[in-house]
A and B are shown apart, each in its own frame.
Chain A
Amino acid sequence: MISEKKQTEEKEKKVREIAVPGETIVSGKDYLPGDGTRREGENIVANKFGLVDISGRLIKLIPLSGVYMPRMGNVVIGRIENITFKGWIMDINAPYSAFLQVAECPRFIKGDLKDYYNIGDMLSCEVISVKNSGIDLTIKGRGLGKLEGGIITKINSNKVPRVIGREGSMIKLIKENTKCNIVVGQNGIVWISGDKVEDEIKAREAIEFVVGKSFIDGLTEKVKEWFENKPLKKIVKKTEGKK
């Protein structure tokens, strides 16, 4: 136990470097430029503003802010914006709108598309292709489809990996402590659904806590503490306010 504690303390002390565009991160032919970096002669130069992540020979930049850029395989939450003859046009909080074809729907569709999914519905989808002509989505797959009830909250899409945690540890912890069902889209839209509104609000506050405290190592422990101490008082206040 003691050694574990020491390790986490050491991790907290280790601050990762921040690079600004045009700044040389490392120099040497041994390194490989990854996301957000480029090679300029001997040097690896930052292309963006972000945290430097060195894993072995690969240099990567983890962006701290910015809009969500869709990638193949991402699970995102979107809102239906418009309906055409061939499918649904969706807003996925990205610079481009996305398209969900009728053929990518697991059910047999007959007649008016409006009867299945209407404008304003929230769906969780997977990005199947990102082309110049647009983004294509699918809802074939486990856990994909229409999200009914619950609340929606938006977070910075760059913090999504922290909210999910290593192998889903963080989101699992929040789910267990609030008894809520949570879907986190890679685009920063989070859907929370529980039996009681209090639970949903508690889950949202927990997520906001994680987003605010990101880039601290050993965050899972902190969230555990947060669940033990803080929330009860807050929930009481919230319900009072509603009355």
Chain B
Amino acid sequence: MAYTKRYDGRKFDETRKMEAKVGIIKNANGSAMFRFGDTIAIASVYGPRPLHPQHLQNPQKGILRCNYDMISFSVGERIRPGPSRRSQEISKITEWALSSVVDLDAYPNTVVDVHIEILQANASTRCAGINAAAIALAQAGISMKELVTSVSIGKIDKTLVVDVDKTEEDYEEGEGATDIAMSFKSASGELSHLQLDGKIKEDELREAIKVGRDACKKIYEVQKKALKDMGE
């Protein structure tokens, strides 16, 4: 049976309930929380600050360091705390997704640290993490060209859906599930990150990117509102 109706009653182009909050960690230079339904990510930004050991310093531009971490109680079965192959990959991906908008030339010899913690996971954690990190960087007063907004698009059997959750990710009937995480720059709408697990045809991928871009516009409004509310 084809996937004609989402199990939780959402429309195909509808995300889960989103919430964003800025300035939640007092001692960080910038911090934010972003949630997609049950997926909650918090990001904290420290810096620009001097980078040690000194041989890692770059006198031409600053360095962006991201660290993604899932807290052991964030999923049903306890996961081992600390870095894993998966979390290291996502840290690197987040770094690449954000580094194209952060103006690192303004901060030579320094480092900007971004720590992303997943408090609760129900798929799309990297997207929630990137969304939180983008607004946390903005709040830290770091000069950025624009914001980054991220969303996951799924191909469940033959239908494209926005913001995949765990149940949909594990769908096995028909063609199965394909999870495509993607990030867009807010103003120019350029892609800054795209990841694909599973099988998809070229024209379907094009369609998925189009759907993702539209979904990101809604997410951007949530991010923008969180920042503006914080300023007042």
- List residues of chain A with CB under 8 Å of any chain B CB: 15, 18, 20-24, 36, 45, 47-51, 63-67, 95-97, 132, 158
Q: Which residues of A contact B143 (CB under 8 A)?
A: 21, 36, 47-48
CA distance A75 to B33 in the complex (A): 36
| Chain A residues, Cβ within 8 Å of B187 | 22-24, 45
- A18 — which chain B residues lie within 8 A by C-beta? 227-228, 231-232
Asked if residues A49 and B227 are in contact (CB atoms below 8 Å), the reply is yes
When the two chains form their complex, are residues A67 and B48 in contact, meaning their CB atoms are under 8 A apart? yes
The distance from the CB of A10 to the nearest CB of chain B, in whole angstroms, is 18
Minimum CB–CB distance for A191 against chain B, Å: 22
CB pair B145–A132 under 8 Å, yes or no, is no
Query: Most chain-A CB neighbours within 10 Å: which of B30, B108, B138, B147?
Result: B138
- CB pair A158 B141 closer than 8 Å: yes
- What residues on A are CB-neighbors of B101 within 8 Å? 21-22
Pair A65/B30 contact, Cβ less than 8 Å: yes
Q: Please, how many angstroms separate the alpha-carbon atoms of A24 and B224 in the complex?
A: 13
Scoring A51, A95, A132 by chain B CB atoms within 10 A of each residue's CB, the highest score goes to: A95
B49 pairs with A95, CB closer than 8 A: yes
Q: Which residues of A contact B59 (CB under 8 A)?
A: 132
Whether a CB of chain A sits under 8 angstroms from the CB of B109 is: yes
Find A132's partner among B108, B185, B224 (CB 8 Å cutoff): B108
Q: How far is the CA of A63 from the CA of B231 in the complex (A)?
A: 10
Once bound together, how far apart are the Cα atoms of A72 and B46, in whole Å? 24
Main secondary structure of the interface of A (DSSP, over half): loop
Instruction: Give bound CA distance, A65 to B227, whole Å.
Output: 12
Task: Report if B186 contacts A (CB, 8 A).
Answer: yes
Pairs across A and B, CB under 8 Å, 30 listed: A18-B231, A20-B138, A20-B223, A21-B143, A21-B144, A21-B145, A21-B146, A22-B101, A22-B145, A22-B146, A23-B224, A24-B187, A45-B187, A47-B143, A47-B145, A48-B138, A48-B144, A50-B141, A64-B139, A64-B231, A65-B23, A66-B30, A66-B141, A66-B142, A67-B29, A95-B49, A95-B110, A96-B109, A96-B110, A132-B59
Contact surface of B with A, Cβ cutoff 8 Å: 23, 29-30, 47-50, 59, 101, 103, 107-110, 138-147, 185-188, 223-224, 227-228, 231-232
Chain B residue numbers with a CB within 8 Å of A49 are 138-139, 141, 227, 231
Q: Which residues of B contact A96 (CB under 8 A)?
A: 50, 109-110
Contact A22 B141 (CB under 8 A): no
Residues in B with CB closer than 8 Å to A23 are: 187, 224
Q: Using A22-B144, A22-B146 as known contacts, list a sample of 19 further A-B pairs with CB atoms less than 8 Å apart, ordered by residue number in A.
A: A18-B227, A20-B147, A20-B223, A20-B227, A21-B138, A21-B143, A21-B145, A21-B147, A22-B145, A47-B103, A47-B143, A47-B144, A50-B141, A63-B141, A65-B23, A65-B140, A95-B49, A95-B107, A132-B108
Complex CA–CA separation, A45 to B147 (angstroms): 12
Are the CB atoms of B50 and A95 closer together than 8 Å? yes
Please name the residue on chain A nearest to B49 by beta carbon: A95
- Chain B positions within 8 Å of A48 at CB level: 138, 141-144
Q: Is the CB of A66 within 8 A of B110?
A: no
Residues of A within 8 A of B223 (CB): 20
Cα(A95)–Cα(B46), bound, Å: 11
Interface centre among B139, B142, B147 (most CB of A within 10 A): B142
In Å, the complex CA distance between A131 and B145 comes to 24
A22 CA / B231 CA spacing, docked (Å) = 17
Q: Which chain A residues lie closer than 8 Å to B146 at the CB level?
A: 21-22
Closest A residue by C-beta to B22: A49
User: Whole-angstrom distance from the CB of A90 to the nearest CB of chain B?
Assistant: 13
Measured CA separation A18–B231 after assembly (Å): 7
A158–B139 Cα gap in the complex (Å)? 12
Tell me the bound Cα distance from A45 to B185 in angstroms.
14
Contacts of A64 in B (CB 8 A): 139, 141, 231
Closest beta carbon of chain B to A41's beta carbon, Å: 12
A-B pairs, 6 with minimum CB distance: A66-B141, A22-B146, A22-B187, A21-B144, A18-B231, A49-B138
Flag if B227 contacts A66 (CB, 8 Å): no
Please give me the residue from chain A that is nearest to B62 by CB atom: A95
Chain A residues whose CB sits within 8 angstroms of the CB of B232 once the complex forms: 15, 18
Q: Taking the nearest CB of chain A, how far is it from the CB of B55, in angstroms?
A: 17
CB nearest to B59 among chain A residues: A132
> A49 to B144, alpha carbons, bound, how many Å?
9
State in angstroms the CA–CA spacing of A49 and B231 once bound together. 9
